[in-house]
Copies of this chain bind each other. A is one copy, B any other.
Amino acid sequence: MLIRLGFEITHSFPEPTPMLLTLNLHDSRRADIAIAKELQTSPAVPLQQYHDGFGNVCTRLVSPAGSFTVSSDMVVRDTGWTDAVVPTAQQIPVYQLPEETLLYLLGSRYCETDKLVEKAWDLFGHTPTGWARVQAICDYVHDRIQFGYEFANATKGAAQALEEGRGVCRDFAHSAVALCRCMNIPARYCTGYIGDFGVPPSTAPMDFSAWFEAFLDGQWYTFDARHNFPRIGRVLIARGRDAADVAISNTFGPNTLERFEVWSEETFVEALIPR
């Protein structure tokens, strides 16, 4: 299938302000881009791209004072398949995990494994290991946390989200990631686009989404404690230890968010016909 996706984000700045953006597609999807205005600004400013330590494509720029818009618009090819479901996927013992996964066993800003390790073993120590254990964690988080945009809070981590029982998609992801790590299953946070494909259209305005990946049987599998069932058409922007690593923007000065629109819709032509 073809997906038309993009965003338009406008800030207002009292003075020239440096920004870091994590808003390009992930390199693993670069070959799927059919046609793109990948990242444009109005007014136009010089853009500088680099890869962060997790391999994500980031952009640096300095916004001028005043109203400043960053936008993207692309057509991306997708298999149209749902997230893989592999209940037989085994857990890898710590001593056999590949080195590059070990980082994803440790605590991080919003995944405070040190605070949750006892609770995790109490809750999941008797579940079967592997896929079933990750699914048990997703079920627990999905039931435990009530979704609501009004519960968004930039300083909230997994420990607080699980205690309050309220949050947005990033809190579901942080909570499940933290619990997986406590159980010695490498888990990493993902951010990207997900449209309403194969599900009833949502009435809420579209936003970027957060999900996570767990390492089982030698590969990373997608899980989503918020929706808690296999979805179609995720398009990855970035992965990291948690939301601190992959904030869509870091702005180094005061500003006002004036407009925020995200889209991810099926299309049938490889062209950017005006929306």
Q: A39 in the interface, Cβ–Cβ < 8 Å?
A: yes
Whether B245 and A106, one on each chain, are in contact in the complex, defined by CB atoms closer than 8 angstroms, is yes
CA–CA, A27 and B51, complex, Å:
9
Whether B48 and A31, one on each chain, are in contact in the complex, defined by CB atoms closer than 8 angstroms, is yes
Return A27 CB to nearest CB of chain B, in Å: 6
What mask results when residues 16 to 31 of chain A are scored 1 for a CB within 8 Å of chain B, else 0? 0010100010011011
Whether B34 and A37, one on each chain, are in contact in the complex, defined by CB atoms closer than 8 angstroms, is yes
Which residues from chain B contact A154 at a C-beta distance below 8 Å? 114
Q: A60 in the interface, Cβ–Cβ < 8 Å?
A: yes
Which residues from chain B contact A115 at a C-beta distance below 8 Å? 155
Whether B60 and A95, one on each chain, are in contact in the complex, defined by CB atoms closer than 8 angstroms, is yes
With an 8 Å Cβ cutoff, the count of chain A residues facing the other chain is 52
The copy count of this chain in the complex is: 4
Whether B250 and A105, one on each chain, are in contact in the complex, defined by CB atoms closer than 8 angstroms, is yes
What mask results when residues 35 to 57 of chain A are scored 1 for a CB within 8 Å of chain B, else 0? 11111100000011111110001
Q: A213 in the interface, Cβ–Cβ < 8 Å?
A: no
Whether A36 and B39, one on each chain, are in contact in the complex, defined by CB atoms closer than 8 angstroms, is no
Name the residue on B nearest A36 (C-beta). Answer: B36
CA–CA, A94 and B155, complex, Å:
23
**Do A35 and B34 form a contact, CB below 8 Å, given A53-B103, A109-B109?**
no
Q: A93 in the interface, Cβ–Cβ < 8 Å?
A: yes
CA–CA, A95 and B31, complex, Å:
16
Q: A206 in the interface, Cβ–Cβ < 8 Å?
A: no
Q: What are 10 of the A-B contact pairs (CB < 8 Å)?
A: A18-B93, A20-B102, A27-B49, A27-B57, A33-B38, A36-B38, A52-B102, A60-B99, A105-B250, A114-B154
Known: A18-B94, A108-B108. 20 other contacts (CB 8 A): A20-B102, A27-B57, A30-B38, A30-B57, A32-B47, A33-B36, A33-B38, A35-B35, A35-B37, A36-B38, A50-B99, A52-B102, A53-B103, A60-B102, A94-B252, A106-B245, A106-B250, A108-B244, A112-B155, A184-B252
